[in-house]
Homo-oligomer: A and B are copies of this chain.
Amino acid sequence: MVARRDVDVTDLINRARHADPRAVARLISFVESNSPVLREVAAGLAGVPAQAHVVGLTGSPGVGKSTLTNALVTALRARGDRVGVLAVDPSSPYSGGALLGDRIRMGEHSEDEHVFIRSMASRGQLGGLAAAVPQALRVLDVAGCDVILVETVGVGQAEIEIASLADTTLLVLAPGLGDGIQAAKAGVVEIADVYVVNKADRGGAEQVTRDLRQVQSLSAGRHEGWKASILKTTAVSGEGIQELIGALAEHRQWLEDSGELGVRRRRRAATEIEAIALGAVRERFATLAGPAALDDAAGRVVDGETDPYVAAEALIASL
């Protein structure tokens, strides 16, 4: 552990502004963990205007999200963009190491100084990933990223929440996984701005597209002014990636024109603040002493002396 005094946050942020990859990595480590300099980093990043287009990717394991992310990075680099990649695993309590395999597949970009790749897991920051991800986005914004790809694993509620932190949410599907229906069930269809049917060279891609159109016709969609487009890609060969880049740019333009960009960013900030506040309240609950303390109250609930609602009220009152 580095003592607080040894970290010059202002200097780190300045170096991140000049796209120093080590400064970027260090700042993200601070926002990911409960670092003593976390507050100072947050204050330092507060004035940074959000320029980057934040794109969330979600979808079941096996649809090829990592390969698609890789292909998107290649295409974005070809047009001269600086790119950030956050690979988020909300279901893992462990550090980013679990995603090592994915990172190895990103190998071709790992030496590129205009690409920042980072894995994040819920490691105990106050407020969890709902707080850590927006801060990490600010760090990547400071470093001048034009596009930030936030890739989640799985299609659970947590993954959907992370993906919804983005400006544009991309749902990736593939033939043969039956996940059109799964996605509909998980409510993910409603939050997607762009659908991608990847592995389109395989049989069944047309069926997935049709299923998706049907689900789409029955659902309200995320915003009435935007009809989510359905694209087909074969990420391994690069097929359809230019069209996807075009669809993302089109959505970004719509976000700006419609004023929805500001709405989403404000909602993202509200979620972030709430997550931090609830995390802080939870910490206070854990450290309370006396009869309202959580463990004492739990004992009384088990013994039938009180009910959990009365106990919860006492807990809040003792804050």
Identical copies in the complex: 2
| A-side interface mostly | helix
Interface size on A, residues (CB 8 A): 65
**Are A312 and B98 in touch, CB under 8 angstroms?**
no
- Chain B residue numbers with a CB within 8 Å of A315 are 273-274, 277
Given the interface contacts A266-B295, A278-B282, A294-B274, does A308 sit within 8 Å of B154 by beta carbon?
Answer: no
Whether A139 is near chain B, meaning CB under 8 Å from some CB there, is no
A308 partner, pick from B187, B273, B281, beta carbons under 8 A: B273
Q: Closest CB-CB distance, A201 to chain B, in whole Å?
A: 24
- Chain B residue numbers with a CB within 8 Å of A156 are 91, 154, 156, 158
**Are B309 and A276 in touch, CB under 8 angstroms?**
yes
Whether A64 is near chain B, meaning CB under 8 Å from some CB there, is no
Given contacts A91-B157, A266-B298, 9 further A-B contacts (CB under 8 A): A46-B307, A91-B186, A262-B302, A270-B294, A270-B297, A270-B298, A273-B294, A274-B282, A276-B311
Give me the 10 closest cross-chain CB pairs, A-B, nearest first: A270-B298, A276-B312, A269-B298, A46-B307, A277-B312, A269-B301, A42-B307, A156-B156, A47-B304, A91-B157
